[in-house]
Amino acid sequence: MSLAYLLTALMLYRLLCTVDEDQARLMVLFAAAGSVILLLNVLNEYMPLVYANTQEGAFSSQQLSALSSLSFATYNNGYMIGQVFFALWVLPLGRLICRSKFIPKVFGVLFIIETVCGLLAVAAYFLLGSTTIATILLLPGTIAEFAFLFWLLIKGVNEKKLVIQAA
């Protein structure tokens, strides 16, 4: 998933760097930071398997169970920390789309809304301790991303306007 995000950001950079190269670079930087955090966080998801296969000796089964629970909690927290950067990478994306002449501005607005909702989801998770509110706040981003994906697959960019903007 993390590598797919990064590759997506790199492909969108190639598409949108003619609009504003600095904003496109910022988009990739945020996506890369989020990808690295999530990739490193996979270790926390893996560790309960290590604990489950550890023979009792240095740790009791209760301690190993507690370590597994701690790893899962750490994974969830790390995932939400990564969400900060995934919320931030769509802000420059939204701004680039709004300024482009070859992608409908509605997608840019949806990505800016996704940024706000994504950051609010992280706040809800950490400050309110509510995964339900966080999940609900992440829904607009899911809708925005799938709508953009299907639009690109079905309609594509306006190539004439892309060439004009590139010039």
Spell out the domain ranges in the chain: 2-166
Give Cβ neighbours of residue 39 (< 8 Å, ≥ 6 apart): 2, 3
pLDDT in tens, 5-15: 899 999 999 99
For the four alpha carbons of 33, 81, 112 and 148, in that order, the dihedral sign comes to positive
- Confidence band for 21, pLDDT divided at 50, 70 and 90: very high
pTM of the model: 0.82
pLDDT in tens, 60-110: 888 888 888 898 889 989 999 999 999 999 999 999 999 998 889 999 999
